[in-house]
A and B are shown apart, each in its own frame.
Chain A
């Protein structure tokens, strides 16, 4: 049994995930996760959850304002620059809270954290992890974190929406690294939620939190300038990536459930378990389903759109406190409706 917590991107809407996880932990004190996968704001939330710093992450997601995340400037100065905003305040926040001590405590806890980023130079999804021996997938790169600074830079890169926030040279301080000048940004550009990473690394129970409702949001807003249109476009793009990302693991799991049902039916007809498994053992095929059991998915999303501006870049403590409560409400609904047989963590 390996349990994963996966949190998508969404800027300030990460407050929803904070409220949800807080409530789950309150109700089930024995609930624990073995791996944590974060994209963008999810990469800010999940490491602190893995470090048992719930009070800190809630404080951050209910008090920080946009000015504490990005600095606005004179557009004319940034025409030839790397971004419209300066994310230095967020970098200060990351450095102050994702400390060496907390990173070392995370390493000692044995909990695995996966942080998704997009490499500007290779155009690949690159996942940074504290797992010394992570799975080696075909469709994205995985790098093991070298130290606390490397960890902080990966978290920062994952959180930085391209165009609006500067890309980060995550590997810059790694001596001799051939990718030391490579720039990394928000993993949400390539993958909004990291469910696939949890699957690839052997998770058998996955709690997935996405920060926008499955139905497309209707905001009735008229987009009257280039920049809001650009930001909205990135939001739409992220949401589409989201649906695609969820589709693949769901289809994979549907196949596992189907195979499991077929196996049960074969056993019911009188075949032994070994005989059944032999039917599914085809050495010539490198089957992704070989020896895998169906994954238990718990999927959480807001009931209604969370108000955080396009890309979730409007950090308003009042609205974020309401988002935390929205997360608590969704957690309460889950607690009230979950099948007791599915609760393996009680």
Chain B
């Protein structure tokens, strides 16, 4: 089973490299993400607003497929300003091509685990639309398995790391 999974992964990786996919190249990338949403228990308890700012540095360790890094977050909820930190990975689902001229973006899934300063333990993920390697629109769902709540948020991210220029010759 394990060897079959490795074989499938290797096949996916080789296919993506051969296809000259411009998305998820091997690089360091950092996003500033604005989050907004609700914290709910899906019961009679009132839903709480949450909003925050995330800093997400990542490095692509499987070209055209997967990058990983960390999330450092400052967020507001329950009338408190709090912080959270934890690991994250993004897996590219689809490259949005612009004919033979390259790509205009990608759709990716993200998975993360965050430890919050208010005893939150968030695990979950989201789906993201990366446009022009400049903006990310996302929807995320996370489960706080310590406080038994669900966090449903939308996000708008901006790439803040330096864009690699066409080499000068």
Contact = CB atoms under 8 A, between A and B. Distances in A.
Interface of A: 66-67, 71-79, 81-88, 91, 153, 156, 166, 168-169, 225, 227-228, 309, 314
Contacts of A87: 169
Contact of A75 (B103, B164, B166, B169): B103
Interface residues of B, number: 22
B105 to A, nearest CB: 7
A314 B101 contact: no
A166 B134 CA distance: 22
Given A76-B131, A76-B132, A77-B133, A227 B99 contact: yes
Given A67-B20, A72-B22, A78 B103 contact: no
Interface of B: 20, 22-23, 98-105, 131-134, 163-169
Contacts of B103: 72-75
A74 B22 contact: yes
B153 to A, nearest CB: 24
Max chain B C-beta neighbours (<10 A), residue from A72, A86, A227: A72
Contacts of B167: 86, 88, 166
20 contacts: A67-B20, A72-B100, A72-B101, A72-B102, A73-B103, A74-B102, A76-B104, A76-B131, A76-B132, A76-B134, A78-B166, A84-B101, A84-B102, A85-B101, A88-B169, A91-B169, A168-B169, A169-B168, A227-B98, A227-B99
A150 B102 CA distance: 31
Contacts of B23: 74
A153 B168 CA distance: 12
Given A72-B100, A72-B102, A73-B22, A153 B164 contact: no
A71 B103 CA distance: 12
Contacts of A67: 20
Contacts of A82: 165-166
Leading 5 A-B pairs by shortest Cβ distance: A76-B132, A72-B102, A227-B101, A76-B133, A74-B133
Contacts of A156: 169
Nearest to A225: B99
Contacts of B132: 74-77, 79
B52 to A, nearest CB: 26
